[in-house]
Amino acid sequence: MEVEDEDGVAIEDPDVTVEDEDGEEVDKTELEDGDYTATADADGFEEGEESVSIDGEDETVTLTLTAEEDDSDDEDEEETTHEVDVDVSDDDEAVEEAEVTIGEETIETDSDGLATFSEITDGEHTVEIETETIEETLEITGDGTVTVDTSEETVEFEDDEDAGGGGGESGDELSMEAIALTGIVIVVLFGVVAILGIAIRQ
């Protein structure tokens, strides 16, 4: 009796048992004429079973075993999550009860202007806030804080260990003198959805 894998390679030290029609285990080396069930098992393989009929002649029975699925790959592919605080402020004043949305989860900011999301997975996410439109791409490698200042149109990310990502342009650069010289009129519309794209990479 031979035991091999799906590629036809012999499997070393398989555990093979043979049972007769009554389910009684018999010596696999001395089988009389009749019908039997051969079962084989080996480390790293799923158990295999084969029906065998003996009819007066020597016969070689080959059992083919299928390799077990490797669960370690699934474990490696588990998503890494991060805790991210979204800090919403207006002219350095915390904005309370602002609705902050990441994906399908919406959280209101507390009295300190913070909305905490505890399970943000690796990948690109959209953060929506009820303030003017702001868009910035950040690289996040761990837990940290995303700061949105509605008065200065800045976005800043601070990692717990190292500073990460970049902020938007400071409102100080848009001085009243520069606006007067260029004739640009800036209208700040509050109540519009702010969009912040966060790129989170492991």
**Cα distance between residue 11 and residue 1, in whole Å:** 12
d(CA 186, CA 174): 10
Q: Is 155 within 8 Å of 136 (Cβ atoms)?
A: yes
Residue 113 near residue 184 (C-beta atoms within 8 A): no
pTM comes to: 0.34
pLDDT digits (tens, 9 = 90+) for 124-179: 888 888 764 445 555 666 676 666 555 443 334 444 444 344 444 433 333 333 33
Q: Which domains does the chain have, with CATH numbers?
A: 2-72 (2.60.40.1120), 81-200 (2.60.40)
